Amino acid sequence: MSDSQDTTVRAESQGCGDKRRLRKTKTPGVYKRVDGAGNVVGYAAIIEVAGKQRKRSARTYEAARRIKRRQRDRPRSRRAPGADDDQVPGVPR
């Protein structure tokens, strides 16, 4: 049997080898990035862009909180303030 047909799982080939994990912090949407030894190696902020979740990296907890705060304070739509979907020009309500 050749190597390409070998279906046994080898211990060294399990997963991608990246042992970093995200751990919760007291700020919603901000996570600590912890390596396999338990050391904090950075932070991640989970934000929503165009209806999809995205992960942004930061070196410090404060920087990750700033990323999250900027996303929270941004308007969810690019439409003009006060624009109504129901309102049709020239038709009274």
Predicted confidence (pLDDT) per residue in 61-85, tens digit: 999 999 999 887 777 665 555 555 5
pLDDT at 49: 86
Burial (CB < 10 A; 0-12, 13-18, 19+), residue 55, is exposed
Predicted confidence (pLDDT) per residue in 10-67, tens digit: 555 566 777 778 999 999 999 999 988 889 999 999 998 888 999 999 999 999 999 9
pLDDT at 91: 60
Return d(Cα 43, Cα 64) in angstroms, integer: 6
Residue ranges per domain, the chain?
18-73
pTM over the 0.75 mark: no
pLDDT at 73: 79
pLDDT at 18: 72
CB contact at 8 A, 23 and 31? yes
pLDDT at 63: 94
CB contact at 8 A, 10 and 17? no
